[in-house]
């Protein structure tokens, strides 16, 4: 629409034509998506499997660029489609208000003029003269009734038709005013949805696309977003998704990949498709931000994107991605909806959405999937970064005995259980075997989740690796039975030997006082020597009073008093004597560094925990 919109024009608008245009853009979006899918799953996969050399590498580079271009076309056409549908949705609402007002005028035999004013006939009588009151004309106002000034006093017994005509005229004026505002808003958004000339989609264009998506999401909140059942159970969300038409699903995926991709209860293949699109929008958003945090996160997202595009076996599924907090990422190797065995691993201390996560934590999940598939090909393994792990260093922990609290684990436990409930809702097997795995601080998160009412949804086994404790006194507290709680604790892993808090306080106090004395006697070097010596002395003094079952978060899961099954792992390098630092804390999943540990984890995930090699408790 252009110029000044009149009520007559609004009445004649055919919203169905806007929806037809939206369908055309939807078809263009779907064709681009199909082209991208063919490039990724057929052409690139075929080249990687059959061709080598510079020519093949050049072809792969060009195909990946083409795939990214098609993804951009898919996204932008999908945004146009939803903008038009949302426009029709809102315009139809204002049109309905207008038509209702015109219908009322017709019933009352009032005349609606071109400018929207309403003529009414004579009616009623003058209380003094007993003469019929004359008719007249009411000019409409778009100001809401509560904001309008009170009507001027016009004398006793006014024509009863006057108030009715005024109401109709005001309703017409408000409908036209609302339609003009809607038209202006949507026209501005549609004008922004234009692509630059050329065949190459640049990072800057993805940054622009991220802004486009935000604008369209704001417009479509009434049309689409409000219907997403965020406050329902995962099973109810799955039922909602299953009940949508194909066209409705396509619109949600095009405009709200950030919402759909992170809704527990939505099928894995749908979440993967949504999150791959949202990944591009997130990278585009961060491209336009130059701060260090954004660039660190962008590097992690790029690494995940490269791995997704490279493909491989087991296939990757991006089940979650986001930039809230320290970042969110959930990656599966193997389809968790079709696999009989599904594990979900929670990483721990210092984990955030960065290159280190993309390189190391994803590899741990992949190693687990590959190992489990050797025992049962129907196995999938997930890494779940769905919470904010503490961003602490070893210095933070040893320097302050109270710095590492369980708060983040308790918050993460709620989110983890929600995710696991979604896994149960979407898995297609009658009784899938589900394993919850927690590493480092992540074992506390899993332990807290297991101690919630009802335990971890669907979990059959729990694996605790490099654990500083779970907050539980016994394996019996974790809801799956002590025979189904498995613990891997390397002898040289300093995290599994973290002192109880009373011991740590003594060590920190001793280290501080020793450093002060050492500084006075021998400068900085003396301070270091004094700190280590006094800290150790204080530790052993406190240790003599402490229960040997207790570590930082309660009973040591590797201790016989806890009652879990301890499986054999390598000792790993000593932190100081071998210069290993925290290496022993990081080797559990890695078959190249600790083959026996990785194999035991694989056995448990594949549902063959009875076959693990065991290790004596502490």
Peptide bond into 314 cis (omega under 30): yes
Instruction: Give pLDDT, residue 532.
Output: 36
Q: Is 539 a residue whose pLDDT tops 60?
A: no
Q: Which two structure tokens, joined as six digits, stand for 30?
A: 């779907």
User: What is the rounded average pLDDT of the residues 590-598?
Assistant: 96
User: What is the rounded average pLDDT of the residues 509-527?
Assistant: 36
Instruction: Give pLDDT, residue 148.
Output: 55
User: What is the rounded average pLDDT of the residues 520-537?
Assistant: 35
Instruction: Give pLDDT, residue 43.
Output: 84
Helix 441-450 vs helix 407-426: crossing angle, to nearest 10: 60
Q: What is the DSSP string of 161-210?
A: HHHHHHHHHHHHHHHHHHHHHHHHHHHHHHHH--PPSSS---HHHHHHHH
Instruction: Give pLDDT, residue 223.
Output: 74
**279-308: pLDDT as tens digits:** 999 999 898 788 899 999 999 999 999 999
Backbone angles phi, psi at 243, to 5 degrees: -85, -5
Q: Is 527 a residue whose pLDDT tops 80?
A: no
Instruction: Give pLDDT, residue 119.
Output: 95
**CA distance readout (Å), 275 to 24, 64, 91, 607:** 24, 18, 31, 30
Task: Identify the band that residue 524 occupies on the pLDDT scale cut at 50, 70 and 90.
Answer: very low
Q: Which two structure tokens, joined as six digits, stand for 423?
A: 């896994």
Q: What percent of the chain has pLDDT over 70?
A: 86
Q: Is 151 a residue whose pLDDT tops 60?
A: no
**35-80: pLDDT as tens digits:** 988 888 788 877 877 778 888 888 888 888 888 889 889 888 888 9
User: What is the rounded average pLDDT of the residues 528-532?
Assistant: 35
Q: Is 555 a residue whose pLDDT tops 90?
A: yes
For residues 351 and 348, give the distance between their C-alpha atoms in angstroms, rounded to a whole number.
Answer: 6
Cβ contact 334:381 at 8 Å: yes
Instruction: Give pLDDT, residue 128.
Output: 76
CB within 8 Å of 50: residues ≥ 6 apart = none
Helix 362-375 vs helix 595-605: crossing angle, to nearest 10: 70
Q: What percent of the chain has pLDDT over 90?
A: 58
Instruction: Give pLDDT, residue 137.
Output: 93
Q: Is 255 a residue whose pLDDT tops 90?
A: no
Q: Which two structure tokens, joined as six digits, stand for 613?
A: 């090699």
**325-344: pLDDT as tens digits:** 999 999 999 999 999 999 99
CB within 8 Å of 298: residues ≥ 6 apart = 283, 286, 287
**432-443: pLDDT as tens digits:** 999 999 999 999
Instruction: Give pLDDT, residue 147.
Output: 56
Instruction: Give pLDDT, residue 297.
Output: 95
Tell me the average pLDDT of the chain. 85
CB within 8 Å of 173: residues ≥ 6 apart = 116, 140, 141, 142
Choose the most confident range, by mean pLDDT, from 191-195, 311-315, 463-467. Answer: 463-467
What pTM was estimated for this model as a whole? 0.78
Task: Identify the band that residue 20 occupies on the pLDDT scale cut at 50, 70 and 90.
Answer: very high
Task: Identify the band that residue 530 occupies on the pLDDT scale cut at 50, 70 and 90.
Answer: very low
Choose the most confident range, by mean pLDDT, from 160-169, 274-283, 432-441. Answer: 432-441
**CA distance readout (Å), 611 to 116, 482, 490, 518:** 83, 16, 20, 53
Q: Is 399 a residue whose pLDDT tops 70?
A: no
Q: Is 584 a residue whose pLDDT tops 50?
A: yes
For residues 484 and 473, give the distance between their C-alpha atoms in angstroms, rounded to a whole number.
Answer: 16
**195-217: pLDDT as tens digits:** 777 667 887 888 888 888 888 88
Q: Is 537 a residue whose pLDDT tops 60?
A: no
């Amino acid at each position: 629409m252009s110029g000044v919109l009149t009520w007559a024009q609004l009445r004649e608008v055919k919203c169905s034509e806007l929806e037809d245009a939206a369908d055309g853009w939807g078809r263009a979006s779907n064709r681009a998506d199909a082209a991208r899918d063919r490039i990724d799953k057929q052409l690139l996969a075929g080249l990687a499997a059959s061709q080598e050399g510079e020519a093949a590498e050049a072809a792969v580079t060009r195909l990946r660029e083409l795939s990214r271009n098609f993804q951009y076309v898919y996204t932008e056409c999908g945004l146009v489609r939803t903008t038009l549908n949302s426009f029709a949705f809102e315009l139809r609402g204002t049109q309905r208000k207008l038509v209702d007002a015109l219908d009322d005028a017709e019933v009352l035999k009032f005349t609606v003029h071109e400018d929207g004013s309403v003529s009414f006939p004579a009616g009623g009588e003058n209380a003094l003269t007993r003469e019929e009151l004359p008719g007249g004309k009411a000019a409409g106002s778009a100001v809401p009734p509560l904001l309008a000034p009170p009507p001027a006093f016009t004398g006793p017994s006014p024509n009863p038709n006057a108030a009715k005509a005024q109401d109709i005229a005001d309703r017409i004026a408000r409908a036209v005013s609302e339609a003009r505002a809607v038209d202006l808003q949507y026209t501005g958004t549609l004008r922004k949805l234009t692509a630059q000339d050329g065949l190459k989609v640049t990072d800057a264009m993805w940054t622009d696309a991220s802004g486009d998506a935000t604008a369209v999401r704001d417009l479509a909140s009434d049309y689409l977003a409000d219907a997403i059942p965020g406050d329902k159970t995962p099973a109810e969300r799955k039922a909602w998704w299953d009940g949508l038409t194909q066209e409705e699903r396509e619109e949600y995926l095009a405009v709200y990949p950030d919402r759909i991709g992170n809704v527990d209860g939505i099928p894995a293949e749908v979440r993967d498709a949504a999150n791959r699109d949202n990944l591009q929008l997130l990278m585009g958003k961060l491209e336009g931000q130059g701060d260090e945090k954004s660039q660190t996160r962008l590097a992690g997202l790029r690494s995940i994107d490269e791995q997704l595009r490279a493909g491989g076996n087991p296939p990757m599924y991006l089940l979650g991605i986001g930039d809230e907090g320290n970042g969110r990422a959930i990656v599966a190797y193997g389809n968790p909806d079709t696999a009989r065995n599904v594990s979900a691993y929670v990483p721990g201390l210092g984990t955030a959405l960065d290159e280190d996560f993309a390189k190391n934590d994803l590899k741990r999940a992949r190693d687990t999937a590959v190992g489990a598939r050797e025992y049962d090909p129907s196995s999938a393994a997930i890494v779940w970064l769905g919470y904010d792990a503490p961003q602490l260093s070893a210095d933070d922990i040893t320097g302050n005995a109270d710095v590492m609290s369980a708060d983040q684990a308790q918050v993460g436990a709620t989110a983890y259980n929600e995710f696991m409930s979604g896994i149960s809702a979407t898995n297609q097997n009658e009784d899938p075997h589900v394993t919850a795995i927690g590493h480092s601080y992540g074992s506390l998160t899993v332990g807290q989740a297991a101690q919630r009412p009802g335990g971890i949804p669907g979990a059959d086994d729990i694996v605790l690796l490099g654990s500083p404790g779970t907050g539980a006194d016994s394996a019996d507290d974790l809801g799956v039975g002590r025979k189904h709680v498995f613990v891997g604790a390397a002898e040289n892993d300093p995290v599994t030997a973290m002192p109880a808090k009373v011991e740590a306080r003594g060590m920190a106090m001793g280290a501080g006082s020793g450093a002060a004395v050492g500084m006075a006697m021998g400068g900085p070097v003396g301070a270091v020597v004094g700190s280590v010596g006094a800290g150790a002395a204080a530790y052993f003094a406190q240790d003599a009073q402490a229960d040997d079952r207790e570590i930082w978060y309660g009973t040591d899961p590797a201790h016989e008093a806890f009652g879990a099954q301890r499986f054999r792992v390598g000792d790993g390098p000593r932190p100081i004597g071998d210069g290993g630092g925290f290496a022993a804390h990081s080797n559990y999943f890695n078959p190249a560094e600790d083959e026996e540990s990785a194999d035991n984890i694989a056995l448990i995930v594949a549902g063959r925990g009875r076959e693990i090699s065991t290790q004596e408790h502490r």
